[in-house]
Structure 1
Amino acid sequence: MSQATEAVTEPAAQRAYRALERMIVTLELAPGETTTEGMLIERLSLGRTPVREAIQRLAWEGLIEVRPRAGLAIAPLKAADWPLVVDARTGVEIVLARSAARHVSERMISRLHDAAGGMKDAVSRSDVIAFLEADKHLDEVLAEASDNEFAVRVAAPLQTHSRRFWYRYQSGSGLAQSAEHHVLLIKAVMEKDERLAAREAERLMAMLRQLAEQAARR
């Protein structure tokens, strides 16, 4: 099933979540900006219930602050927090990579191949938004392949925070380097090499840690 087909068949609440998450990650909803549930409903052209569910999920993930009688505030973005996000991600990403290599199916291998192709295509076009979408797609495929819902629940919000930091501080110059590390991880999982997959996940996190430290020092 293609990503486009998946989007059409998704529940409204999931579509609302994806749209709002993308707007927060790409700073269309700016850090510290205040808005309201009604304004978001109008922007998304979706019903109150799915938008409210999406807001609640994003609030739990720390991306939106719900202020009673005062609206909604988009989470601030402080460069000093990025290394903390990467530190929190590192262990769980290694677990997911190892588990995905252990459990990956032929169907998942096909989807991983597509994810790698999407990343390479985004780099060739210098399309940052397409790269972010390919990165999220990869996270979702690895999550499904890992067969570890507990690790997935921990990793998902951290991945979103990380994408947001990366878009703000690194996207202009880091596409090729990031894609290279992701593709090496994908190959290791496709080859069902647990040790190599864990190593490539660790290397990817080390690369992000270096970028995060550079941003925090600016």
Structure 2
Amino acid sequence: MPLTNFQKIYQLASIRKGGDDNLEALLTISLPDPQLNKLPEDRFLAEFTRKVFQSGFVWRVVDNKWPAFEEVFWGFDVDKLLMMPDEMLERKATDPRIIRNLKKVWSIRDNAFFIHDVREREGSFAEFIAQWPESDIIGLWSYLKKHGSRLGGNIGPYALRFLGKDTFLLSRDVEAYLREQEVIEGGLTSQRSLKAIQAFFNELQQQSGRSLCELSRLIAFSVGENHVNVEPA
């Protein structure tokens, strides 16, 4: 019987990572919906902010300064940030303890309004995120880009992954695999490409019963230069 796409991916990733046990230990697991439902709004805003500041910057520097970000922005309390006047926001953007980037700092309050608006309409921002179907995760990416601030590109998907929402990521290794297999041909983030990618991952889920997080990692581990004890890009 011919191997499925998933079986081929898994076998190659296993060889590169030194066996099934090593491979399984490296896979990312998403949070179950009941746990994601309970995640406080401030953690969503905090992770959105962290990923906005990490974009185009050294992640380690952002992580080192993160305790100061938490302090300066009141633990990312959404309701407090909604009441912050422009003048205070501008002052906070000059605080030497954080990374001083006014446009990115503005996104903090903008995304506080975004979270607040979803909460007012849906009753809970966490439930809104948790209940969004993974079979249309690209739809959630699009929603974050359209209604949030600076959450387009890889920022929204990476934030979702770190928060525990089940999502695949379009890393360089994943993109290389998708092009090699002719799942996509044109621009990576065109609507045509994204729909083809979503359909491909949906098919892998049906074959394997694995989460999008696991499948994304397995694909990344199956290509490129990542072998035993080497992480993919």
TM-score (norm 1): 0.32
Q: Which entry has the higher C-alpha Rg, 1 or 2?
A: 2
**Which structure has more strand as a fraction of its residues?**
1
TM-score (norm 2): 0.30
**Which structure has more helix as a fraction of its residues?**
1
